[in-house]
């Protein structure tokens, strides 16, 4: 499917009852088509000339960004994957597009070091969604014995003050707590995270079904830090 064919298919789908997840009016740049239908389109693109689609996508409507993310996630070549991810990340401006491509990049599990090197460079950026991309990639693909210490260090370095970055970091640490509680507790005792991100991470840990109840009891006592504790932390 070329770009024009994809657009025609999206327009057709937008008029079929049950395909849309929203009752909001259709706009020029947003149809509200459910993700499973977008994945079918992306998979069809990936079976044919997917490079033509990736090179010519104009992102005229929101769904084209999600399809773009799915197509990149289907790429098997490391070189192509890194190339198109590098081009796409600066275009990310929403949490759902960001988290979609991160979770779909399962190639990072196969090429851990190569993607790690890419993420380390990206983590140096001060931009909100670039830092969220790093956080969600780490929680999705790097919570293992080989990388966990480095993951905690990188997450600690992501300090963009905007909401979606801070939420990404909080979510990542909640996932660390579920898989590596001892290491996470050790980090929390000496963390330099800002109070908002710290408390949001604690909240997500407490809400998680994957965190043990006995750990949640400890976390409840850690959630609110007083002024004295804050002064000590900043010294």
Average pLDDT over residues 142-157: 98
Q: What is the C-alpha separation between 70 and 178, in angstroms, rounded?
A: 27
Residue 218 DSSP one-character state: H
pLDDT for 27 equals: 53
| Cβ neighbours of 37 (radius 10 Å) | 21
pLDDT for 226 equals: 42
Q: What value does the mean pLDDT of the chain take? A: 92
Indicate whether 232 pLDDT > 80: no
pLDDT for 19 equals: 75
Per-residue pLDDT band for 225 (boundaries 50, 70, 90) equals low
Q: Is the dihedral of CA 222, 223, 229, 232 positive or negative?
A: positive
Q: Tokens in use for 151?
A: 């993951």
| Of 227 and 103, the one with more pLDDT | 103
pLDDT for 224 equals: 62
Average pLDDT over residues 159-176: 98
Share of the chain above pLDDT 70, in %: 91
The domains of the chain, with CATH numbers, are: 112-235 (1.25.10.90)
Query: Is residue 202 within 8 Å of 223, Cβ to Cβ?
Result: yes
Per-residue pLDDT band for 230 (boundaries 50, 70, 90) equals very low
Share of the chain above pLDDT 90, in %: 86
pLDDT for 29 equals: 87
118's CB contacts (< 8 A; 6+ apart) are 82, 85, 86
Query: Is residue 7 within 8 Å of 59, Cβ to Cβ?
Result: no
pLDDT for 235 equals: 24
């Amino acid at each position: 499917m070329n770009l024009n064919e994809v657009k025609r298919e999206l327009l057709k789908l937008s008029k079929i009852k049950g395909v849309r997840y929203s009752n909001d009016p259709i706009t020029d740049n947003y149809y509200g088509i459910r993700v499973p239908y977008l994945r079918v389109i992306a998979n069809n693109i990936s079976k044919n000339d997917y490079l033509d689609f990736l090179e010519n996508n104009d992102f005229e409507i929101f769904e084209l960004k999600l399809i773009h993310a799915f197509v990149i996630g289907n790429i098997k070549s490391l070189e192509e994957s890194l190339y198109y991810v590098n081009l796409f990340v600066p275009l990310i401006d929403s949490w759902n597009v960001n988290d979609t491509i991160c979770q779909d990049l399962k190639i990072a599990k196969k090429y851990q070091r190569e993607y790690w090197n890419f993420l380390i460079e990206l983590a140096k950026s001060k931009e909100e969604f670039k830092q969220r991309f790093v956080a969600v990639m780490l929680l999705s693909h790097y919570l293992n014995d080989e990388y966990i210490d480095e993951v905690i260090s990188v997450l600690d370095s992501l300090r963009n003050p905007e909401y979606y970055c801070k939420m990404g970091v909080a979510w990542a640490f909640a996932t660390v707590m579920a898989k590596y509680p001892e290491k996470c507790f050790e980090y929390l005792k000496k963390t330099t995270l800002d109070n908002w991100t710290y408390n949001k991470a604690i909240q997500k840990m407490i809400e998680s079904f994957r965190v043990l109840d006995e750990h949640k009891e400890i976390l409840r006592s850690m959630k609110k830090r007083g002024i004295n504790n804050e002064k000590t932390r900043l010294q």
